[in-house]
Amino acid sequence: MAKPKVASESKDQFDHLQKKLVPLWKSIERFNQDPQTIVVVPSISIDAISEGAVMQAYEERFLFLLLLLRQPRARLIYVTSQAILPSIIDYYLDLLPGVIPSHAHQRLFLLSPLDGSVSPLSQKLLDRPRFIERIRSLISDPDRAHLVPFNTTDMEKELALRLGIPMYGADPKFFSLGTKSGCRKIFQEEGVAHPLGHENLASADDVIEAITEMRARKPSIKQVLIKLNEGVSGEGNALVDLSGLPPSEDSDARAALQDRLRAMRFELKGITYDSYMKKLEERKGVVEERIAGEEFRSPSVQLRITPLGSVELLSTHDQLLGGPSGQSYLGCVFPADSGYASLITREAAKVAGRLAKEGVIGRFALDFVVVRSNGKWEPYAIEINLRKGGTTHPFLTLQFLTDGRYDPKTAIFTAPNGQQKFFVASDHVESPRYRTLTPDDLFDIVVRHGLHFGQTRQTGVVFHMMSALGELGRMGLTAVGNSHEEAKATYTRALAVLDQEA
């Protein structure tokens, strides 16, 4: 019986694998016709996902990576929990500009363990050694291959080790940097403005002490947010109302604050005070002032650190938020408002420089809130997402389809023909009536109504997450236009057509 690997051996092996990214990256940057194999495992580790259909939809959310098959010698292995409908694959391959779909098909390998449970996909693969061997057999040259995960946990690290290929993503040892407490620490150390608050809280008493201290420093605070360290898309957040409380120095202020804490509003349905506090004890969290103002926005900045250590500012978005207290991510508008895009990009660059020094690689995003007072926008950093996120797939879809580039100095995305591009995207295009539609119905609808993305004008609608239609009545949609107004109008028209057809 083989001895289990000790942690130091595993670390050394992983570090050795990661070094292979450097020559591979140099080759890809220099000439994209060099052969490579990309293994996509869009495994997601989120407590809020409680249905297999939702898990499958999120795994399919990154099918835009099929557009990498534009590189004529690239091989793509895409793994999902359940098999993907062939017509969905055809849909993406037909979007490929300048490529014969049948040629791309020959270089695409779709694998599935046929496990519809809500366990993370990476765990499903680790539980199936023969399945991992199947993936390995499709990698023609391990020195010219890499793993592309959604988020990076110890499961993805172990998967990379078993496949014998490097992982393009942050080493799990940097996990703490992306927690809510870790973010606040980096913001403090790098001089990035962020909301008043406290981190590393593990109990109701910790929260009460923190809020009491915050109220003493700033008596005008009306609301605070409690955030679990590992919450995603606002789903670990809770809102506490402080309006009308006695001054913090009053003897009855603590008891009143305890009552407010028990009445806090949770962003995720089905959460109770006791269950939330148990998670706070397990994971720790932060409390911070909820920034408010008459003009209030929630933009984000997307960046990446290459295996060569260079920082690239990729894009900015304005986030579309909803949910009980407006903290749940629903979609985004690209690019972010030019009035503050350069401001948040500048602050994000400080954080990115720090992460690069730490040794982080891969794509990540910084979330901000901005408020305007006296005609001036003020940005506050609130979160670092050390993973791909909800803004990754629509932006890369646009980039792959148009070959355009985003200029962080001007906050403008321009296609090679000089035309500026904009989009509105959402993962939450949903209605009970949409359950009557199939992906093939969608394709028919957009073609008949002239909404399908066309390469000539490079505008129109691109769908994603289509496998959730039948069970959940939900899908995702990116509407591309030549102006903010056109993108919004295309998005609105697409929803109206879908409602009419359903």
Mean pLDDT for 159-184 is: 94
> Over 90: is that where the pLDDT of 125 sits?
yes
Q: At what angle do helices 253-262 and 204-217 cross, to 10 degrees?
A: 120
Residue 154 lies in a domain: yes
Residue 1 lies in a domain: no
Give the C-alpha separation, 107 to 495, whole Å: 35
pLDDT tens-digit map of 487-499: 999 999 999 999 9
Mean pLDDT of the chain: 91
Residue 2 lies in a domain: no
Give the C-alpha separation, 417 to 239, whole Å: 47
One domain for residues 145 and 34: yes
> Over 60: is that where the pLDDT of 1 sits?
no
According to the model, what pLDDT value does residue 151 have?
Answer: 86
One domain for residues 247 and 187: no
Give the C-alpha separation, 16 to 12, whole Å: 6
Domain end: 264, 289, 314, which one? 289
Structural domain range at position 438: 421-502
Give the C-alpha separation, 305 to 213, whole Å: 37
According to the model, what pLDDT value does residue 467 have?
Answer: 92
* In contact, 75 and 38? CB cutoff 8 Å: yes
* Reported confidence tier of residue 232, pLDDT bands at 50, 70, 90: low
Give the C-alpha separation, 333 to 347, whole Å: 20
Question: Into how many domains does the chain fold?
Answer: 4
Contacts of 470 (CB under 8 A, 6+ apart): 435, 438
Residue 206 lies in a domain: yes
Residue 234 lies in a domain: yes
Residue 274 lies in a domain: yes
One domain for residues 338 and 225: no
* Reported confidence tier of residue 4, pLDDT bands at 50, 70, 90: very low
Residue 270 lies in a domain: yes
One domain for residues 39 and 120: yes
pLDDT tens-digit map of 269-306: 778 999 999 999 998 999 999 998 778 899 999 999 99
One domain for residues 15 and 35: yes
Give the percent of the chain with pLDDT over 90: 76
According to the model, what pLDDT value does residue 340 have?
Answer: 95
One domain for residues 181 and 266: no
According to the model, what pLDDT value does residue 49 have?
Answer: 63
One domain for residues 78 and 187: no
Four-residue CA torsion sign, 375, 380, 384, 385: negative
> Over 70: is that where the pLDDT of 435 sits?
yes
Between β-strands 145-149 and 36-41, what pairing exists: parallel, antiparallel or unpaired?
A: parallel
According to the model, what pLDDT value does residue 31 have?
Answer: 57
One domain for residues 434 and 495: yes
**What is the token pair recorded at 118?**
């809500």
CATH number at residue 431: 3.30.310
Give the C-alpha separation, 219 to 160, whole Å: 51
Mean pLDDT for 438-444 is: 95
According to the model, what pLDDT value does residue 78 have?
Answer: 98
> Over 60: is that where the pLDDT of 165 sits?
yes
Q: How far is CA 497 from CA 113, 184, 317, 470, 488, in A?
A: 36, 44, 26, 18, 14
Give the C-alpha separation, 440 to 85, whole Å: 10
**What is the DSSP annotation of 122-160?**
HHHHHT-HHHHHHHHHT-S-GGGEEEEESS--HHHHHHH
**Range in 153-162, 195-204, 326-335, 389-398 the model is least confident about:** 326-335
According to the model, what pLDDT value does residue 2 have?
Answer: 42
pLDDT tens-digit map of 369-400: 999 988 899 999 999 988 877 788 899 999 98
According to the model, what pLDDT value does residue 17 have?
Answer: 94
Give the C-alpha separation, 197 to 216, whole Å: 12
Give the C-alpha separation, 319 to 426, whole Å: 10
According to the model, what pLDDT value does residue 326 have?
Answer: 61
CATH number at residue 319: 3.30.470.20
One domain for residues 27 and 154: yes
* CA neighbor of 380 nearest in space, from 368, 367, 362: 368
Q: Ranked by mean pLDDT, which of 55-69, 240-254, 281-295, 437-451 comes out on top?
A: 437-451
More confident residue, 448 or 54: 448
* Reported confidence tier of residue 477, pLDDT bands at 50, 70, 90: very high
pLDDT tens-digit map of 418-431: 999 999 999 999 99
According to the model, what pLDDT value does residue 392 have?
Answer: 85
Question: Which residues sit opposite 367 in a β-bridge?
Answer: 300, 383
Per residue in 106-136, is it b (16+ CB within 10 Å) or e — as a string?
ebbbebbbebeebebbbbbbbeeeebbebbb
**What is the DSSP annotation of 86-104?**
HHHHHHHHHH-TT--HHHH
How many H helices and E strands in the chain?
17, 20
Domain end: 412, 439, 455, which one? 412
Residue 68 lies in a domain: yes
Mean pLDDT for 238-267 is: 90
CATH number at residue 82: 3.40.50
According to the model, what pLDDT value does residue 3 have?
Answer: 45
One domain for residues 180 and 241: no
Give the percent of the chain with pLDDT over 70: 94
pLDDT tens-digit map of 14-30: 999 999 999 999 887 76
> Over 80: is that where the pLDDT of 123 sits?
yes
More confident residue, 184 or 96: 184
According to the model, what pLDDT value does residue 47 have?
Answer: 59
According to the model, what pLDDT value does residue 249 have?
Answer: 84
One domain for residues 149 and 215: no
pLDDT tens-digit map of 319-359: 887 766 566 678 899 999 999 999 999 999 999 999 999 99
Domain end: 355, 384, 412, which one? 412
DSSP state at residue 454: B
Other residues' Cβ atoms within 10 Å of the Cβ of residue 395: 23
One domain for residues 363 and 445: no
